[in-house]
Amino acid sequence: MQIELLSAAAFADAHDELANLLRSCVDGGGSLGFLSPLPPSDAIDYWRSLAPQIQSGVLAVFIAREESRIVGSAQIAFVSKPSGRHRAEVLKLMVHPSHRRRGIAARLMSELERHARARSIRLLYLDTAEGPSGARDFYETIGYTYAGGIPDYALDPDGRPAKNAIYFKLLSAR
């Protein structure tokens, strides 16, 4: 398995595969900001909408490939405000349902953190759905601290209100 940081050109070439990954994860119950079933056009539109952020460098998209197929992805959004340039938000960590529990998410996060350190980021934060997905154990295992949650923060993929879970990690200079 390979982890890659997508260039703007490679990102444009990967829209269809990324859309399929997103649909598989959302339709499999993943809380990624979409409702299930996720229409193909909405999935492709989402990825296309990110192109300007990738080109400007405020967003980086990492993918995991296995046998040339995209099986996972994660994003990091850099804060452009002068008071927040030391922090970044982790977005949309996803692994195809058929490839979970193989260490792909941990490898994506490790590479994302390495990239963050290279850009002098000292704080990463994220939010995910609270619940039985295993996210809490995963994030705590890789060194993130649970900061709390907000009731009814978002709708889960089947449309029910769900509490989120907020995590952060202080990065060392390593």
pLDDT of residue 173 exceeding 70, the answer is no
Q: What is the pLDDT of residue 58?
A: 98
> Which one-letter amino acid corresponds to residue 147?
A
Q: What is the mean pLDDT of the chain?
A: 95
Q: What is the pLDDT of residue 116?
A: 98
Pick among 3.40.470.10, 3.40.630.30, 1.10.10.60, 3.40.50.970: CATH of 2-170: 3.40.630.30
Domain ranges of the chain: 2-170
* CA nearest neighbour of 141 among 114, 106, 115: 106
DSSP, residue by residue, the chain: -EEEEPPHHHHHHTHHHHHHHHHHHHHTT--SS-PSS--HHHHHHHHHHTHHHHHHTSEEEEEEEETTEEEEEEEEEE--SGGGTTEEEEEEEEE-GGG-SSSHHHHHHHHHHHHHHHTT--EEEEEEE-STTSHHHHHHHTT-EEEE--TT-EE-TTS-EE-EEEEEEEPP--
> Tens digits of per-residue pLDDT, 99-123?
999 999 999 999 999 999 999 999 9
| CB-CB contact of 2 with 10 (8 Å) | no
% of the chain at pLDDT higher than 90: 89
Q: Quick one: pLDDT band at residue 35, thresholds 50, 70, 90?
A: very high
Q: Quick one: pLDDT band at residue 174, thresholds 50, 70, 90?
A: low
> Tens digits of per-residue pLDDT, 133-169?
778 899 999 999 999 999 999 998 989 999 999 999 9
Which pTM does this prediction carry? 0.95
